[in-house]
Amino acid sequence: MKLHLRWMGFLWSLVLLSCSMTEVPPTASKGHLTADTYLSQSHKTIQLTGEWEYYPGLLFSPTELPELKSIREPHYFMVPGVWTKSFLDKGFLAGDGYATFQLEMVHGLKGIPLSMKVPEMESAYILFVDGERLSSNGFVSTSYQTGIPEYRPQIIDFIPKENHTSFLIQISNYHHRKGGPAQVITLGRTSDIHKQYEFEILRDMLLVGSILFMGLYHIFLYWNRKKDPFTYWFALTCILVALRVFITGNKYLVQLYPNLPWEIHLKLSYLSFFFITPIFAKYVYLLFKPYFSRRIYELLKYFGFAFCFIVLVTRSSFYTYLMVPFQIFTLFGAIYTVLVLTRSIRDSLPGSVIFLFSFLVFVASFVNDILVNNLIINSPLTIHFGIFMMFFVQSIYIARNFSKGFVDAENLAIELSEKNQTLQKVQNQITILNERLETRVKDKTIELQSKLDQITKDMKLAKSIIQSVTKVPDMDPHIKVDILYKPTADVGGDIFFVKRIQDFYYRFFLGDATGHGLQAALYSMMIQSEFERVSAVAMRPNDLLFYMNQHFYDKNADLRIYFPALVMDFDFHQSILRYAGGGVQNQIILRKNADPVILENTGPIIGILEHYRYGIFESKVESGDRIFLFTDGLFEELNEADGLQAWDDLLSVIRSTRDLPFQEVISSVQTMLYQKMNKSSWKDDSTLIFIEIT
């Protein structure tokens, strides 16, 4: 289960880390957008959001605009947005109407090929660029009888003749609850817009293919094993989700079938969403039947199918008002599902923890999309990724259940075979003992040598594993790191990890486990495993030490694993260093133009006190600052009789490296320590992590 959780966390982290911080683009104000500075850099695209000039109840061409402005002051409309009034005021006509929107933009890209990604508007539009009609969907009209809705996202190419461009959009709506520019136009250089669109196609096709493959795979599982009907309902859910991805977003269905009526396309879009709730509820109900109330399931099923029936028998001007009630209804079902999973976790039902974790990811992405679609927030849509994450984990969960029976049968067969082999070996051994005692001695000698060889092999493997987990990631351009690591055996007790949480956030961990060799390797693996687990939830170094201390206090009390450790985080968004130390010696920050800063303990060693809350030290860092993190083995041999004198000697050595180049610091510290000890090696594990802020 832990492996599955790590895979899911890894995949979700890739999605989150793909959203890197970028410069905030400008927005329109009172019908004017100045973006020449922002678009001067290549590969920049901009969404035409903000205040557009708004002329409700008027449809006019660009040539009529100057005359209209001379006699009428424009209103201003926030894009994206809708002009829909309250249902209580206008009933099912709340989104009906027509208007013209106008925007003047300064882009500074005269003569450079530009493109616009124009999504659908609600629900028909005509787009003029510098007075020329370049794009349209449906038929814009002032009456319901002649207005024709259409959803067909387009990419429009043009070459501006000036450093500024005028955009004018006529929009009308008589078929949807939302009317107006609910989507935004994206503008950029032609190559960038087309690359962005091609990437979206690749992303969506991979998503559709992955989820559809999961659905077909579980259809075949159900076909061959009908004793587990939950696989059938899971497969149906996968197919519906894949269909919805194909229908919505870039409207690939309309691209394949250009003559598909708008009403049918919209019904398919709504049905692909409305059918998911009752079908997925059936899947969860079958998996967690002892915890899932049948009455609640029946409520979810019949209400969900009732929504679908209304979509089938009514027109879009009616059933589009069902979206918000259905979203609330679905959230109710999601909350109840979380309660069901919580009860199953309480009873230690296998797989319930990973199910809950993946389901919460899905619910978070679903809530995000509800807020985006209702224009409450403006952020990327994430529901498809949330669904993929959940379904990926669910398919692993189902595969694990299916394989469990085969594994049990195989284990019984292996156990029987082993028993037979053991009996045969005993008989052979008795015969050998009776006939050739000398042969047995030789066999034992060979076996002992094999064990010694295996121990040697295990030691090499442990050393390789420790080296792999202590590998330092690339942290340019923020940090340079050099490490002095001197274990007294192939595997020492000192253990360190360097983790890149995000491109601007790094975490350093240094601990001193008990013993050497295989014992130290096993302890180090336990520490590394716990570090990876809690790093995902510990936002600060002292939180990480708190979780690790609690884990080793609760889970490993019989093993009596106690060890000093420190954690140091670098947040380069705020240029802040955060430090927490448990039972370690003082650490050193060598400021570029100031006296050294001594970092003292913020708590006891790990595993000794229950529920101990560690303190935290925070400090600003700047380029040129140097940090020295080390274990006590580095300096305690300088003066074994006087620990304070040994510390002072080490501090003196580190001070003397202030003006040395980065690459010479570690070798100089090592040389000077050898000279002071009058030795050429340490008798205890010694580690020094040297960090320079760049």
CATH number of the structural domain spanning residue 149 = 2.60.120.260
Last residue within a domain, chosen from 352, 369, 403: 403
CA dihedral 371, 139, 68, 116 (to 10 degrees): 60
Q: What is the count of structural domains for the chain?
A: 4
Task: Please indicate, yes or no, if residue 23 is contained in any of the structural domains.
Answer: no
Task: Please indicate, yes or no, if residue 114 is contained in any of the structural domains.
Answer: yes
Kindly state whether residues 390 and 289 are assigned to the same domain.
Answer: yes
Kindly state whether residues 56 and 146 are assigned to the same domain.
Answer: yes
Kindly state whether residues 141 and 228 are assigned to the same domain.
Answer: no
Kindly state whether residues 590 and 495 are assigned to the same domain.
Answer: yes
**Contacts of residue 393, Cβ cutoff 8 Å, sequence gap at least 6:** 4, 8, 354, 355, 357, 358
Kindly state whether residues 100 and 240 are assigned to the same domain.
Answer: no
Kindly state whether residues 356 and 485 are assigned to the same domain.
Answer: no
Output the furthest CA–CA distance in the chain (Å, rounded): 119
pLDDT of residue 6: 47
What is the DSSP secondary structure assignment for residue 595, as one 8-state letter? Answer: -
pLDDT of residue 427: 79
Averaged over successive runs of 10 residues, the pLDDT of the chain (694 residues) comes to 45 46 81 92 90 93 90 90 76 84 94 93 92 93 91 93 95 90 92 91 84 82 81 84 82 86 90 88 87 91 92 89 87 89 86 79 74 64 67 68 64 78 80 72 70 65 66 85 82 82 90 73 82 88 92 75 91 93 92 87 90 93 92 76 80 88 90 80 82 90
Last residue within a domain, chosen from 403, 419, 448: 403
Task: Please indicate, yes or no, if residue 234 is contained in any of the structural domains.
Answer: yes
Kindly state whether residues 260 and 378 are assigned to the same domain.
Answer: yes
For the domain that residue 260 is a member of, what is the CATH number? Answer: 1.20.1070
Task: Please indicate, yes or no, if residue 106 is contained in any of the structural domains.
Answer: yes
Amino acid (1-letter code) at residue 21 = M
Kindly state whether residues 423 and 396 are assigned to the same domain.
Answer: no
Task: Please indicate, yes or no, if residue 513 is contained in any of the structural domains.
Answer: yes
| pTM as predicted | 0.54
Kindly state whether residues 297 and 173 are assigned to the same domain.
Answer: no
Report the C-alpha gap between 610 and 409 in whole angstroms: 43
Last residue within a domain, chosen from 403, 426, 449: 403
Helix intervals (H) in 122-229: 190-224
Task: Please indicate, yes or no, if residue 231 is contained in any of the structural domains.
Answer: yes
Contacts 24+ apart (CB under 8 A), 553-559: 553/607, 553/608, 553/609, 553/610, 554/610, 556/526, 556/607
Q: Is the peptide bond before 13 cis (omega within 30 degrees of 0)?
A: no
Kindly state whether residues 432 and 520 are assigned to the same domain.
Answer: no
Task: Please indicate, yes or no, if residue 200 is contained in any of the structural domains.
Answer: no
Domain of 475 in residue numbering reads as: 470-693
CA dihedral 361, 363, 367, 372 (to 10 degrees): 50
Residue among 667, 668, 602, 593 at smallest CA distance from 626: 593
pLDDT of residue 186: 94
Kindly state whether residues 136 and 218 are assigned to the same domain.
Answer: no
Task: Please indicate, yes or no, if residue 199 is contained in any of the structural domains.
Answer: no
Kindly state whether residues 161 and 269 are assigned to the same domain.
Answer: no
